[in-house]
Amino acid sequence: MNNEEMLKDSIRELIYNVIKEEQGKQEQIKINAGVDEIKTCDNSTDDGFVEDVTVISMQDTFCVPNAHDPEGYMKMKQSSSGRLGIWRAGPRPLSKAYVRFIADHAAAQGAVWSEVDQDIIKELGFICLESISSSKAEYLKNPNTGKRLSPESVEIVKQNANKNVNVQIVFADGLSSSAIEKNAKDVLPALQQGLKSLGLTYATPFFVTNGRVAVSEEIGELSDADVVVMLCGERPGLNSQSSLGAYVAYKPTIGMEESRRTVISNIHRSGTVPVEAGAQIAELCQSMIKHKISGVELKLI
């Protein structure tokens, strides 16, 4: 018993001393820490960077280790932009794949909530309009407010409406501001060039902040153009955050049926090539003006 007690005592003492020593060390570290932290901070601003996980396209990303036929897999991946061949860690995704997912999701949200860069609007010479939404939040929570122009904007359209033009081009942020930022500068000149070569006239394009497709109906009524081409940011997904949709209608009227619109969707870098879409929309306008209809009816010709 005595022996045991003694042994316990000496162990206690030993532990106590060790703890005390360790605490002393830590206090010293804490004192030094101030200096160290400042140093690390300095270093991190110089060298630190976070790898951009979205640089490589999903189609070029392949993480299967020791694949039997990596080339065959890559060929297969060319037919889908889905997250194929991203491998796993046990039952969970690899950190890299998970971070990529979060990044793509963030980019999609960013596209919805951001505003179109003013420099781009200026560069392309858009006339700016607004819907009756007072803010992005209101626009997203009450989408109907995106369908009508604010009273000020109605005046601007009236002032700038060029009677007797064939085509009125309208851009709207819709659900993706980055769709406008990435594609407008290529779609617009290709479209205008195409219209010109077909002998069609067009007015200065409008840009509607917090605008939806249907806002083009009001612009159509006010401007009296034969055809209104509405280029609207499409709802982003995890694969494409900057996709533009073209909604083209002959003499649109407020509250008209959706079937009167002809749609060319998926206009972006890896979808319908923007310059080709612009060139094609010009021909579409020509055929609408020739037949005086658009949408489903045009398809029945």
Q: Rounded CA gap, 32 and 14, in Å? A: 27
Least separation in angstroms between CB 185 and other proteins: 7
Interaction between residue 264 and other proteins (CB under 8 A): yes
Beta strands 261-267; 244-250: pairing state: antiparallel
How far is it, in rounded angstroms, from Cα 262 to Cα 278? Answer: 14
265 near other proteins, rule: CB under 8 A: yes
- Which tokens belong to 239? 């694969």
Residue from 77, 170, 278, 288 binding other proteins (CB under 8 A): 278
Is position 273 annotated in a ligand binding site? Answer: no
Residue 295 identity (one-letter amino acid) = G
Minimum distance, C-beta of residue 273 to other proteins, in the bound complex (Å): 5
Residue 113 structure tokens: 């909530």
Binding string, 222-251, against other proteins, x = CB under 8 A?
------------------------------
State in angstroms the smallest separation of the CB of 50 from other proteins.
Answer: 28
Q: How many residues bind other proteins (CB under 8 A)?
A: 35
Per-position x/- string for 61-100, each x denoting binding to other proteins as judged by CB under 8 A, each - no binding: --------x-xx--xx------------------------
CA 171 to chain centre: 15
Residue 292 contacts other proteins per CB under 8 A:
no
User: What is the C-alpha separation between 179 and 188, in angstroms, rounded?
Assistant: 13
Are 130 and 150 in contact by the 8 Å Cβ rule? The answer is: yes
Beta carbon of residue 165, minimum distance to other proteins (angstroms, whole number):
19
Strand order in the sheet with 167-172: 127-130, 206-209, 167-172, 227-233, 244-250, 261-267
Q: How far is CA 208 from CA 122, 132, 142, in A?
A: 13, 10, 16
Instruction: Compute the least distance from the CB of residue 69 to other proteins, in Å.
Output: 6
> Of the candidates 169, 170, 171, 178, which has an alpha carbon nearest to the alpha carbon of residue 115?
178
Instruction: Judge whether 213 is annotated as a binding position.
Output: yes
Residue 228 has φ and ψ, to the nearest 5°, of -110, 125
Closer to other proteins by Cβ: residue 52 or 69: 69
Contact status: 60 vs other proteins (CB under 8 A)? no
Complex with other proteins: residue 97 or 180, whichever CB lies closer: 180
Binding residues for adenosylcob(III)alamin: 213, 234
Binding residues: 213, 234
Where do contacts with other proteins occur on this chain (CB under 8 A)? 69, 71-72, 75-76, 185-186, 189-190, 193-194, 196-197, 263-266, 269-270, 272-280, 282-284, 287, 299-301
